[in-house]
A and B are shown apart, each in its own frame.
Chain A
Amino acid sequence: MTAAPAVAIKDLSFAYHPGRDVLQLPTMVISRGERVFLHGPSGSGKTTLLGLIAGILRPQGGSLAVLGADLGTMSGSERDSFRGERLGYVFQMFNLIPYLSVVENITLPCLLSAPRRARLMQAGSVASLELAAAAIAERLGIGGLLGTPVTELSVGQQQRVAVARALLGAPELVIADEPTSALDSEHREDFLRLLFDETARSGATVLFVSHDLTLAPLFQRTLSLRDLNQVAAARGTHA
């Protein structure tokens, strides 16, 4: 199982309305442990592809295997459990549940997914979920903010909390959807360094999506969704 790539796509297609495909991907493979920059300007099918990989959307044609799991054959709730257990997801901004504290936000995925929690407790030498959250928060430089209401955090702090939440419980694939777009350039690199450090510790694969190519050199490989997606390529007029 560990030999299976993080993402393996073959002839994947998806349409919100029958006959109007927004995504046609002949092939795309991301290996385990890779740090991939996916360049996806708006209109390139980025949102759709991430929805498919995260298991929110159901593939309609072709095959999609994430971490060896064939998402096309799984039910909606199976995909939800799969996502909760094995993926980490960081949004562009507003990542946090406003009515939970920092530590509650970080531990929430492990509370929702029993396997994820079990894996965390087994793997580490941690005594409790809260201690594990405190440890990762410490490494991300937000150790002093655990009890703070999330509404009092700066954008940069919020994104670090989001990373801590996405990484707690050692997910094998971390998807980051433009997580740096709200940060200034200096904080962007700091943020990426922290993300890479943490994913390197657990050996997680990183799929980083952005329309901002200036960050691309920091990654091992860059993919362009506009080139990969036949629908976008055919439209071809996007500047």
Chain B
Amino acid sequence: MLALKLALKSLWNRRFASTLTVASIALSVALLLGVERVRLGARAGFAGTISQTDLIVGARGGAVPLLLSTVFHIGHATNAVPYSAYAAIKARPDVAWTIPLSLGDSHKGFRVVGTTEDFYQHYHYRRDEQPRLVLGHTPQALFDVVIGSAVATKLGYQVGSALTLAHGVAEVSFQNHTDKPFNVCGILAPTGTPIDRSLFISLEGEEAIHADWADGAPPQSGHGTSVAALIAHPPAVDEITAFFVGAKSRGDTLTLQRDINETKAVALTAVIPGVTLNELWDLVAYGENGLRLVSACVVVVGLLGMLVSIYHSLSERRREMAILRAIGAGPRMIVTLMVVEAGLLTILGAAGGLMLVYVGLVLAQPYVEAEFGLLIPIQAPASGEAGYLSAIFGLGLLLGAIPAWRAYRTTLHDGLTMRL
């Protein structure tokens, strides 16, 4: 207790240096914890983007690209699924629902998704949240489009706005479907998922904008079917990009997946989202570990700064040590004093770091969510973080032992001699 009191007073006496030391530890701890928060937030956000969907089915290909292109709108699928194959699976008795997806177009960098009413009824994210319209209605007419919240705010669209879609998913497209303008019929509530950054049209609408296309090229102007004719006779949907499947029961999922993957007639791939997400984590774990390693190094540097600061203070404090020795403090007391000082600096630094993380979260959370669609929850420190903090504390004490050892040696050598 006496050592604690003396250490506190001593640190307070050198409060400028102590504050700098605490601040550098706090910053490094905040970085480590912040990286961890972002990592976990990103994982939770990613995992929460799709819920209750048992299978994602697309043309034969890699599982991760299929998941990325359909759920996260990253990259794109090259092959299509014949509508007949989709209809056959949809009709199976063990299938509860399906959501067809037709991808490949965009609008000013935002992806366009062709789908059906099934999307609004069956798509779930974050366990049991569903996309919800704040304004308007789902696409009823051929050229109706529902837009995500970010699309609405970024581009300033309202219900009734007209817009043209672009072929392909690049930010700048050279092929615009200018001949077939769409009409905003509804706006979705923010979801914190890629839905916010997407536009939703009907499957027929997706088909209609590509009507008369041959070999991936549009018809010459003036030669295509007129918009009026398309509305009068909507084209039949003959292929889609992928579809989500909800099984009647969880137990059916594996059978269903095997059946789809083994279908000889059409080459399809069915993946379980959760399983594929885990594959994805394995992939990104390298990057995450690298990031963690760097922030751990920063913490070590912060603590080394403390070591330097305490070590440096020793030469000015030899007189103090001699006085303490003269009034009966043993070398053990001197060592305790040093280690307690290091412990106090580390605890204050760690607490400051934790506080910085929370202040940072409160300040940055809305921005990060709006800008990156990443919701980092503000919650009590997790057990993993407690582990980090105790490791940091332990390391701080360990490093404190180094100046303590030197002080011990110095006191034994100096005794009562005042070396100034």
1/0 per residue B389-416: CB within 8 Å of A?
0000000000000000000000000011
Q: A residues within 8 A CB of B325?
A: 56, 80
Q: B residues within 8 A CB of A92?
A: 418
Is A81 an interface position by the 8 A CB rule?
yes
Q: Output the least CB separation between A106 and chain B (Å).
A: 11
B416, A85: Cβ atoms closer than 8 Å:
no
1/0 per residue A75-107: CB within 8 Å of B?
011001101110101011011111110001000
Q: A residues within 8 A CB of B320?
A: 97-98
A99, B323: Cβ atoms closer than 8 Å:
no
In-complex Cβ contact of A80 among B6, B330, B416, B418 (8 A)? B330
A51, B9: Cβ atoms closer than 8 Å:
no
Also in contact, A50 and B416, with CB within 8 A (given A97-B324, A99-B13, A100-B9): yes
Q: A residues within 8 A CB of B283?
A: none
Q: B residues within 8 A CB of A51?
A: 415-417
Is A63 an interface position by the 8 A CB rule?
no
B9, A99: Cβ atoms closer than 8 Å:
yes
A84, B327: Cβ atoms closer than 8 Å:
yes
Is B319 an interface position by the 8 A CB rule?
yes
Question: Across the two chains, which residue of chain A brings its CB closest to B327?
Answer: A109
Is A113 an interface position by the 8 A CB rule?
yes
A171-230 residues at the B interface, CB under 8 angstroms: 177
Is B331 an interface position by the 8 A CB rule?
yes
B13, A83: Cβ atoms closer than 8 Å:
no
Is B189 an interface position by the 8 A CB rule?
no
Q: B residues within 8 A CB of A50?
A: 416
Also in contact, A76 and B330, with CB within 8 A (given A47-B417, A91-B323): yes
A182 to B180, CA, bound (A): 99
A94, B415: Cβ atoms closer than 8 Å:
no
A57 to B420, CA, bound (A): 20
Is B367 an interface position by the 8 A CB rule?
no
Is B213 an interface position by the 8 A CB rule?
no
In-complex Cβ contact of A112 among B13, B319, B333, B418 (8 A)? B333
Q: Output the least CB separation between A215 and chain B (Å).
A: 21
Q: A residues within 8 A CB of B327?
A: 83-84, 89, 108-109, 112, 165
Also in contact, A99 and B415, with CB within 8 A (given A85-B328, A112-B333): no
Among B322, B324, B415, the one with the most A-chain Cβ atoms within 10 Å of its Cβ is B415
Question: Across the two chains, which residue of chain A brings its CB closest to B1?
Answer: A111
Is B92 an interface position by the 8 A CB rule?
no
A80, B323: Cβ atoms closer than 8 Å:
no
Is B332 an interface position by the 8 A CB rule?
yes
A113 to B323, CA, bound (A): 15
B415, A57: Cβ atoms closer than 8 Å:
yes
Is A54 an interface position by the 8 A CB rule?
yes
Q: Output the least CB separation between B340 and chain A (Å).
A: 14
Question: Across the two chains, which residue of chain B brings its CB closest to A54?
Answer: B416
Question: Across the two chains, which residue of chain A brings its CB closest to B316?
Answer: A98
Question: Across the two chains, which residue of chain B brings its CB closest to A16?
Answer: B413
Is B378 an interface position by the 8 A CB rule?
no
A219 to B13, CA, bound (A): 40
B330, A89: Cβ atoms closer than 8 Å:
no
B9, A111: Cβ atoms closer than 8 Å:
no
Q: Output the least CB separation between B8 and chain A (Å).
A: 9
Q: A residues within 8 A CB of B6?
A: 97, 100
Q: A residues within 8 A CB of B326?
A: 54, 83, 89, 91
Q: B residues within 8 A CB of A77?
A: 330, 332
Q: B residues within 8 A CB of A165?
A: 327
Is B329 an interface position by the 8 A CB rule?
yes
Q: A residues within 8 A CB of B330?
A: 76-77, 80-81
Q: B residues within 8 A CB of A76?
A: 330-331
Question: Across the two chains, which residue of chain A brings its CB closest to B417?
Answer: A47
Q: Output the least CB separation between A174 and chain B (Å).
A: 12
A217 to B329, CA, bound (A): 34
Also in contact, A98 and B13, with CB within 8 A (given A81-B328, A111-B2, A112-B2): yes
Is B10 an interface position by the 8 A CB rule?
yes
Also in contact, A83 and B417, with CB within 8 A (given A96-B323, A99-B13): no
B329, A84: Cβ atoms closer than 8 Å:
yes
Query: Which are the 9 A-B pairs with shortest beta-carbon distances?
Result: A84-B328, A99-B13, A80-B330, A56-B415, A89-B326, A109-B327, A99-B9, A51-B415, A112-B328
21 contacts across the A-B interface (CB closer than 8 A): A47-B416, A51-B417, A56-B416, A57-B415, A76-B331, A77-B330, A80-B328, A85-B328, A89-B326, A89-B327, A91-B322, A91-B418, A94-B323, A94-B418, A95-B323, A96-B323, A97-B6, A99-B9, A99-B14, A111-B2, A112-B2
